[in-house]
Structures are given as structure tokens and as C-alpha cells.
DNA sequence: TATGAATGAGAGTTCATTCAT
DNA sequence: AATGAATGAACTCTCATTCAT
């Protein structure tokens, strides 16, 4: 693409960024919705949410997530709040699942805090994950489940 | 401070950034070394490492950590590798502690991966932690320990 | 031209300076080569070299010579040596002509020194020459020849 | 000397430059006056003027001449005209001597132009003269005389 | 709609000058 | 008078944006 061409399609560079972030978050939400519509037990649902989140973070067409996590300061206040709302909705969907696991004793922390810590752990993978190192997204998902979620106590 | 004053003390803006990052990492390493020199069981040591890390991340004089985590791209390759080395040393010190907990069955993941996930979880707190919300660094430390570390199985 | 426009075409202000100096010296060399290819006696050749040099110094598109003479310190060592090489080649071409005149007794000084003095005399004209004062470049050329070159002794 | 100390003695850096240039030109004029007061024939006087000028250009304490020749643009208009007046007086003193030589047929050019060319030739020596190369100021003076001045025709 | 040279606001940097000590 | 940290105007350069083609 050539230097002036962007402005045939977007009002500004930040407008493109905003579009990409919004579009990316909406598709991530849609992908996640499919997971949530399947009726599984909480542990299975969480596993699928994590797997889906890794796809969103690390799969192809995932650059938007870098933008959501690290470039929000380039947006206007209004745009930033729209993206924050989408991100909030996305993360809020995990709460009931985590709540159920916490109630069952499988997750040993207050859910709001646990959710922040879990998203921190997962999101940072964009910095260190390297598919060439031989670990698959499924392996990663297994490791995360093992780390955070305990077997249901009798 | 006025526009030209910086250059009385530093060759360039990036030279200041580098100094701040280096100095901050060295003091974080020193603080952590004190924790490691105390002889405690692995769980207590980890708790103190986490508490110390939260101090480094969220205490006063902690802005350098934002720089280390998010501004490394402004450095030269050489500078970046120095900072990466310091960060690597800092994080490497956690490995034996995590290893011992993993051997005891208290940490259910491969240590290298667990370490990445744990640092992700902790480091992201600079984005959401707000001391005005009433949670203390000690509370945070307790939550992290509860979330990641299990009671020693009999 | 506006402040940023330069950088569409040149990497830096000094890169422009270097291009102008190099291009100017190459065209001066080319102009001089034409003079040298004509087969004339030494005195005629020298007269034409001087006339050509005044054109290079004082004609239109001659600002580059100011740069070559007085702005070389803005260049990198490498660039400066390229320009110095071109200037050296340019001035070296005068040596055989001066040598022939010296051998004939028309130039009463060691050629290397005479060349330095002659170029000093000519080049300083950029400081004082004013076409509005009524002196032409041909007048100037005649004066220089008369001053430095004697009639061939019988 | 330290960065602020200059301003204990001079109002500005350019004020120092102006003082140095003025002082240097006055001492050059004084030195030249001594030459002119001795009663010699024109050729001898010119030789001594040239020798004195080389001392002024190339001897110790001669940096001011670089400033006079190449840094005048840093001065205010008023200061520049004072320096130009001193330089004009200095060069004007050569006119009668050159005039006499021209009348005698020893200098083959109009005196005003010859003077400009001669000063150009001499002044440029600050760029190329190197005492380590083994040429003395006396050698230089001899060469200049030989180049410009002819034996008196019978 | 696409292009890329031109624009200009803003960032980074230099350096002559000021000023508290 | 001497010092050197601080100042700020001026300069170089970057890059998002504009615009004539």
C-alpha cells in the first residue's frame, strides 16, 4: 500500500486502528459466543474459552489484539471507551464460568481478581509465544487449566 | 523541567530511558536478593518474591517497570539486550523456587511455562491495580498464592 | 519550500549538501575536460581553464562551489574525502599545463606552489566579484593571465 | 575555561569574536606600519609586506585571521563594518606599493584587481600551509614575489 | 480510487546565555 | 570573578495528513 492510499478508506490512521480494534473485538466476541452456547460443564467451557482466547491472541489475524492491549492510548476518549466496553463484555462472559468453578472449590481466589490475573497470564503470551518452539495452542491450554483449576474436591 | 534541561544530564532521551530501566532493574534484583538470602521453605519464599515483585511493580518509584515492560523498543539492540539480561536474571531466580513447589505437587505445570504465566498475571497488574480501591499489596499476594499454589498434598 | 519538504528528496540536510557538492564538482570536471580535450598551446589552454573556472565559480548554478570551499566541515569524514578527491582531480589537471608554462619560463614558481596560489587567487573571487560592477569574466580572465603568465622569453 | 566563565569577561560569544578580530587587525596594521615606515624601494617593501602578512596569517596568535576571513557573518552589521574598515585600511596600504611596481612594468595588471588576486592567493594559504612540510615563510615569500613580480624591464 | 510529493505540527537536540552559588 | 546546572530559542528531522494529478 502506498503512503496516501490509506486516506481513501479511512479518515485517519487512528480511525483505521479503531476499526481494526472494533472489528477484531466483535469477531472475538462472536467466536466466544459460540463456545458459550454449547452446553458443557464449567471446566470444559473454561477450557474452550481459553482455547478460543489463545486463537484470538496468537492465531492468524490476531494483530488487532496487540492493538487492543497496547495501543489504546492512541484513541480518543470516546473511542477508547467503546473498545473498553467490548473488552469488558468479552471478559465479563468468563465470570459465571469462573464463579461456578470457584463455588465448586476448583478455583481458589475471588473471581474478579482471579479473572484479572488469568487474563494477564494469557494475554502476555503474545510477547513470548513462538509456534516454532513446538508448543501448540492446545498444549498451552492444557497447561493453563492445570495451573489454575484444581480437580473437584470430593 | 524545561525542554533543554534533560540534556545537561543525559546524552539523549533514550539514554535517560536506558539509565532508568537499568537502575530500576538493578534495584529490583537487589531487593529480590534479600528475599532469596532468607532461608524459608519454598512456599514462603515464593510469597515473599511475589510481595517484593508487587512492590517493584506498584510501589513508589515503580514507573521504570512500565518502561521495561512496554518501552524496550525505543532502545538500541545492545541496550535492549542488557535490559533483557537483567530481566532474565530477575525471572530466572524464581525457577528453583517454582521447581521445588512443582516437585512437591503444589504447582501443576511445567516450570518454564508456569513462570511465564505467573509473570504475565503479576505484571499486568500495573494496568488495573488501584490502591484507592482498598486492596493492599498483601491482599494481592495472598490471592496470587491461593490461585497458583496448592496446599501440599499428604 | 517548506520545512519538511527537503526530506522527501534527501535523507538529511547534510545529504543534500553532499549531493550538491558532488554533482557540482562532477559537472565542473566535465566542463574542464572539454577544455583539455581541445588541442591548444599551454597558454591558450590555461586561459580557457581559468575562464572555465570563473564560470564554475561565478556563473549561474555556482553556489555549490561556496559549499565545496567553505562547508566541507559539515560532511562526514568519508564524504569529505570523496569531495576532496574530486577537487584534487580537478586541480591536478592544471599541473601539466602549468608545468609546460614553467618550463618555457612563462611561470616563475614551482608548479605545486604556483597552483595553490593561483587557485587561492581565483577562488577568493566568489567573495568580491560583482557582475554589476561592469567587469566581465573575460576581463577577469585576461587580468589573471597578465598577472601570472609572462610573454614567452625569446 | 568553563562554560559560564566567558560571560564574566564578554557580553556574548560574538563580542569576544569581535574583540579578537579587532585586536588582531590592529596588531596586524601596527606590524605592517613598521614595514611601511622603513624606506625601501617598492619591490623590497612589497616583499616585506608579504612576509609580514604571512606572519599575520600563519604565525603564532594568528587564529584571528581565520575569523576575519571566514566568520564575519556572525557579527552585527555595525561590527562587520568596523572590521571591514580595518581590513580595508590594511589592504589599502598595499596600493601605492603595487602602483609603483605596476608603473615600472613589474606588475602586469590593474592594481585594484591585482590586489584582490594577490590577497586571495596569500590568504588561502591558511588552508594549505603546513610548517611541518619544510617550507618556511621566507620560502613562501620568495615564491610569491617570483610569481607576481617581474624583474624591472630595461 | 490510487499515488507520492509536499506540508507543517511536533518531537528531539544543540548551544549561547543566565543565574544561583 | 568563576562555576556549571538550567534555560529556551532555533535548528534538524519525523510522520500523519493533504492534494494535485
CB contact under 8 A, A120 and B116: no
Domain locations along chain D = 10-148
CA of C123 to C1' of F11 (A): 30
Where do we find the cell 603564532?
D60
Quick count: other Cβ atoms within 10 Å of Cβ A34?
10
Q: Do residues A71 and A17 make contact, with C-beta atoms less than 8 angstroms apart?
A: yes
Measuring alpha carbon to C1', the residue closest to nucleotide F19 is: A4
Q: What is the pLDDT of residue D56?
A: 96
Is C146 a residue whose pLDDT tops 90? yes
B128 touches A: beta carbon within 8 Å? yes
Q: Does domain B9-148 have CATH number 3.40.50.300?
A: no
Measuring alpha carbon to C1', the residue closest to nucleotide E16 is: D13
Q: In angstroms, what separates the C-alpha of D120 from chain C's closest C-alpha?
A: 4
Q: Please list every residue in chain A whose beta carbon sits closer than 8 Å to the beta carbon of residue B122.
A: 117, 120
**A134 dihedral zone (left: phi>0; alpha: psi -120 to 50; beta):** left
Question: Cα separations (Å) of C2 from C6, C9, C20, C79?
Answer: 8, 13, 19, 26
> pLDDT tens digits, residue range C93-104?
999 999 999 999
Q: Do residues A46 and A97 make contact, with C-beta atoms less than 8 angstroms apart?
A: yes
Q: In angstroms, what separates the C-alpha of C110 from chain D's closest C-alpha?
A: 8
Is A96 a residue whose pLDDT tops 80? yes
When CB atoms are compared, the residue of A124, A128, A140 closest to B124 is A124
CA C48 to chain centre: 12
Q: What is the pLDDT of residue C117?
A: 98
> pLDDT tens digits, residue range A6-46?
999 999 999 999 999 999 999 999 999 999 999 999 999 99
Is B82 a residue whose pLDDT tops 70? yes
CB contact under 8 A, A128 and B116: yes
Q: What is the mean pLDDT of residues A100-116?
A: 97
Q: What is the mean pLDDT of residues B46-60?
A: 97
pLDDT band with cut points at 50, 70 and 90 for residue C6: very high
Regarding chains B and C, contact by 3 or more CB pairs under 8 A is answered as no
pLDDT band with cut points at 50, 70 and 90 for residue C48: very high
Q: What is the pLDDT of residue D152?
A: 79
Q: What is the pLDDT of residue D30?
A: 97
The closest nt to D74, taking CA to C1', is E16
CB contact under 8 A, C120 and D125: yes
Q: What is the mean pLDDT of residues D106-124?
A: 97
Of B143, B90, B42, which Cα lies nearest the Cα of A148? B143
Where do we find the cell 599575520?
D56
Alpha-carbon gap, residue C8 to C115, rounded angstroms: 41
C140 touches D: beta carbon within 8 Å? yes
Q: For the domain D10-148, what is the CATH code?
A: 1.10.357.10
Is C154 a residue whose pLDDT tops 70? no
CA dihedral of B114, B120, B126, B127, whole degrees rounded to 10: -140
Helix extents (H) in D12-110: 13-37, 42-58, 63-70, 77-92, 95-103
Q: What is the pLDDT of residue D154?
A: 67
Amino acid at each position: 500500500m502506498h503512503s496516501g492510499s490509506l486516506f481513501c478508506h479511512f479518515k485517519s490512521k487512528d480511525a483505521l486502528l479503531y476499526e481494526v480494534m472494533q472489528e477484531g473485538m466483535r469477531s472475538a466476541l462472536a467466536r466466544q459466543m459460540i463456545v458459550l452456547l454449547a452446553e458443557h460443564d464449567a471446566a470444559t467451557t473454561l477450557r474452550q474459552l481459553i482455547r478460543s482466547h489463545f486463537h484470538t491472541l496468537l492465531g492468524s489475524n490476531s494483530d488487532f489484539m496487540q492493538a487492543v492491549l497496547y495501543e489504546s492510548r492512541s484513541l480518543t476518549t470516546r473511542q477508547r471507551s467503546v473498545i473498553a466496553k467490548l473488552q469488558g463484555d468479552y471478559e465479563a462472559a468468563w465470570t459465571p464460568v469462573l464463579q461456578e468453578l470457584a463455588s465448586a472449590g476448583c478455583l481458589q481466589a475471588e473471581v474478579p481478581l482471579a479473572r484479572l490475573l488469568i487474563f494477564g497470564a494469557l494475554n502476555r503470551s503474545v510477547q513470548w509465544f513462538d509456534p516454532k518452539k513446538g508448543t501448540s495452542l492446545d498444549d498451552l491450554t492444557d497447561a493453563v487449566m492445570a495451573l489454575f483449576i484444581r480437580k473437584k474436591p470430593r
